Amino acid sequence: MKDYARELYRTWRTNSRKSRTTSTDEVRQRVEDPQKLGSVLDELVSNRDWRQGIAEGTLFTEWSSVVGAEIASHATPVSLVDGSLTIQTTSTAWATQMKLISSELLKTISHSAPGALVEELVIIGPHAPSWKKGIRNIKNARGPRDTYG
């Protein structure tokens, strides 16, 4: 253990002497020197090709500012898969209205969220209540009405 510590100390001393002999510009550009967090994150995002994913995530988090408060209160983005943005509405009337303005909404999304790959909108209404209980069901059954006289 003591030999390892001595070897580590010698390596550190040798490297520190080398760094003293370098020019000040080289020292400023060393990786160990502090850097601004924004520049480090920008480099990380560009190296890992995360720009599209971040733009798509921003679309979900900034939904109300992209589409407006009234639409955002009645329509929520659910998923974005292969350029298809699925939006769920609070009522079937809102689903119909969203389908009517889908081309304008698509243009608004492309201008407000650059980098997000949205090619089409899939508008769905609210989920209907399900009478299924459990994992098994009987097809062509009457459902809850069959127990009423």
Q: Is residue 50 part of a domain?
A: no
Q: Is residue 22 part of a domain?
A: no
Write the CATH number for 120. 3.30.70
Q: Is residue 39 part of a domain?
A: no
C-alpha pair distances (Å), 102 with each of 34, 65, 74, 78, 97:
48, 17, 14, 16, 9
Q: Is residue 94 part of a domain?
A: yes
Q: Which residue has the higher pLDDT, 118 or 22?
A: 118
pLDDT at 23 over 60: no
How many folded domains does the chain comprise?
1
In contact, 98 and 72? CB cutoff 8 Å: no
pLDDT digits (tens, 9 = 90+) for 32-82: 667 788 888 888 777 877 777 888 888 888 899 989 999 999 999 999 888
Q: Is residue 35 part of a domain?
A: no
Q: What is the pLDDT of residue 30?
A: 58
Q: What percent of the chain has pLDDT over 70?
A: 74
In contact, 131 and 95? CB cutoff 8 Å: no
Q: Is residue 58 part of a domain?
A: no
3-state SS assignment for residue 33: coil
In contact, 141 and 104? CB cutoff 8 Å: no
pLDDT digits (tens, 9 = 90+) for 58-67: 888 889 998 9
Q: Is residue 106 part of a domain?
A: yes
pLDDT at 149 over 50: no
pTM above 0.75, yes or no: no
Range of the domain at 106: 69-129
Strand partners, 122: 86
Q: What is the mean pLDDT of the chain?
A: 79
Q: Is residue 100 part of a domain?
A: yes
Among the listed ranges 87-91, 124-128, 141-145, which one has the minimum average pLDDT value?
Answer: 141-145
Q: What is the pLDDT of residue 36?
A: 82
Q: What percent of the chain has pLDDT over 90?
A: 30
Rounded to whole angstroms, the Cα distance separating 102 from 122 reads: 9
